[in-house]
């Protein structure tokens, strides 16, 4: 990031609203990873607190990039997250989207695959690399909220690097066209 380039406004979306959900733990860890970088200004958007309509859409509109933190429910992503994605509508256009998934044996990856299809229809740029936690409740130290998996920080770095690159590229494209990408 240059001295004149504004920070990338990154929305980290907590995609589950269920009581007793694990998403806030995962989102807090990822947001901390992003905040270590001067390139990002992080906004954690918890759907349980923000709502699934205008409140979410406004925060999405303000973001340059998004990371969706999602569990896998019944081989897909949660219904309230689908409602929020739909409410965001055109605000997704031209935004890079990364994923941090968690779940049982699949680590939430089936949820991510379904999200990719939905977000493609909204003209978002879904990143290929994903952070995934298998057996999520056991993958984090309950005392520290940190992942037990040694490669988690490196996986987060890969996603953050890609988000930074895509955000800058899409920002330049939007500037050249006289529109916000």
**Angle made by CA atoms 135, 83, 155, in degrees to the nearest 5:** 35
Indicate if the pLDDT at residue 56 is higher than 80.
yes
- Rounded Cα gap, residues 22 and 68, in angstroms: 14
CA separation for the pair 136, 26 (Å, rounded): 9
The number of distinct structural domains making up the chain is: 1
Q: How many CB atoms lie within 10 A of CB 72?
A: 24
Q: Is residue 85 part of a domain?
A: yes
pLDDT per residue as tens digits for the range 41-50: 999 999 999 9
Mean pLDDT computed over every residue of the chain: 93
Q: What is the pLDDT of residue 4?
A: 77
Please give the pLDDT value at position 181: 46
Q: What pTM, to 2 d.p., does this model score?
A: 0.94
On whether residue 55 sits in a domain, the answer given is yes
The CATH number given to whatever domain includes residue 140 is 3.40.50.360
Classify residue 14: in a domain, yes or no.
yes
Which residue range forms the structural domain that includes residue 159? 8-177
In terms of Cβ atoms closer than 10 Å to its own Cβ (0-12, 13-18, 19+), residue 128 is exposed
Q: Does residue 128 belong to any structural domain of this protein?
A: yes
In a domain, 2, yes or no: no
- Strands 65-71 and 8-14, bridge-based pairing: parallel
């Amino acid at each position: 990031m240059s001295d004149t380039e504004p920070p990338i406004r990154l929305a980290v979306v907590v995609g589950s609203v269920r009581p007793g959900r694990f998403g806030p733990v995962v989102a807090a860890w990822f947001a901390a990873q992003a905040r270590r970088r001067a390139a990002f200004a992080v906004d954690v958007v918890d759907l349980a607190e923000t709502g699934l309509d205008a409140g979410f859409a406004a925060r999405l509109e303000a973001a340059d990039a998004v990371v969706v933190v999602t569990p896998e429910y019944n081989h897909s992503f949660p219904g309230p997250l689908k409602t929020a994605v739909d409410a965001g509508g055109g605000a997704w256009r031209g935004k890079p989207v990364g994923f941090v998934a968690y779940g049982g044996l699949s680590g939430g990856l089936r949820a991510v695959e379904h999200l990719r299809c939905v977000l493609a229809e909204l003209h978002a740029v879904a990143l290929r690399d994903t952070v995934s936690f298998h057996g999520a409740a056991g993958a984090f130290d309950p005392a520290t909220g940190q992942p037990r998996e040694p490669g988690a920080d490196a996986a987060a770095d890969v996603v953050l690097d890609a988000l930074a690159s895509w955000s800058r590229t899409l920002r330049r494209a939007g500037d050249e066209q006289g529109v916000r990408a």
